[in-house]
Amino acid sequence: MTEMTEERLAMPVEVEKISESDGLLLDERKPFDFFFDEKDGVNGIGEVAVNISLTRSGEDVFAAGQLSGVVRLQCGRCLEEFDQELVATVEEPFFPKSTGLEGAAETDEEAETTPDEGNLYDGNTLDLFDVLRDQLYLAIPLKPLCKEDCKGLCPNCGASLNAGPCGCKPKKADPRLAVLKSLKEKL
């Protein structure tokens, strides 16, 4: 069972390789499609820079650092595509999964001290993949804006108002006109 789990680890780190005195520094670049597949709809440009520092105390591991990369997004107001730099901060603890038989006497105590939050790892290897992927995904804005004050599109002609006024006269729907119009249509 353990072997099968380990085969699926996408970003494995052997806990023993994390020095208790110096930690372990991960400094690598991964393609966006390492983290996301097509149905995630993430349009990454270039690669994701992974800078994670791992520290360890006994079997408890703490991962801290940053992921950064550039994604192409579509502005929710003017529909223009634009590139945005993402910076995702990672601060995640990892704890060994207490296995039933192993150290059964200790588990009572450990169960109380192990916080609910935190990631569990099996055996001697933890997988950073889910944590990194989730943080990167969360860094992508849900309602992207090409700029804070994007003026959006003219509701009348559809032109982007960021380039300047489109020439349409500001037309406010007049409720009285609407009544007249519907009367006309009935005639």
Residues lying near Zn ion in the complex (CB under 5 A) are found at 75, 77-78, 146, 150, 154, 156-157, 166, 168
Q: Which is nearer to Zn ion, 77 or 133 (CB)?
A: 77
Q: Count other Cβ atoms within 10 Å, centred on residue 152.
A: 15
CA distance to 94, 110, 127, 181, per residue, from 116 (Å)? 11, 12, 18, 63
Q: Which is nearer to Zn ion, 19 or 156 (CB)?
A: 156
Least separation in angstroms between CB 142 and Zn ion: 15
Least separation in angstroms between CB 73 and Zn ion: 10
Rounded CA gap, 43 and 33, in Å? 9
Least separation in angstroms between CB 114 and Zn ion: 46
Q: Which is nearer to Zn ion, 9 or 154 (CB)?
A: 154
Q: Which is nearer to Zn ion, 60 or 80 (CB)?
A: 80
CA distance to 149, 160, 162, per residue, from 153 (Å)? 12, 4, 8
Least separation in angstroms between CB 151 and Zn ion: 8
SS3 call for 176: helix
Q: Which of 96, 124, 133, 134 is nearest to 6 (CA)?
A: 124
Provide the sign of the torsion angle of the four alpha carbons 133, 5, 7, 110, taken in this order.
positive
Q: Which is nearer to Zn ion, 84 or 114 (CB)?
A: 84
Beta-bridge partner residues of 84 = 71
Least separation in angstroms between CB 94 and Zn ion: 40
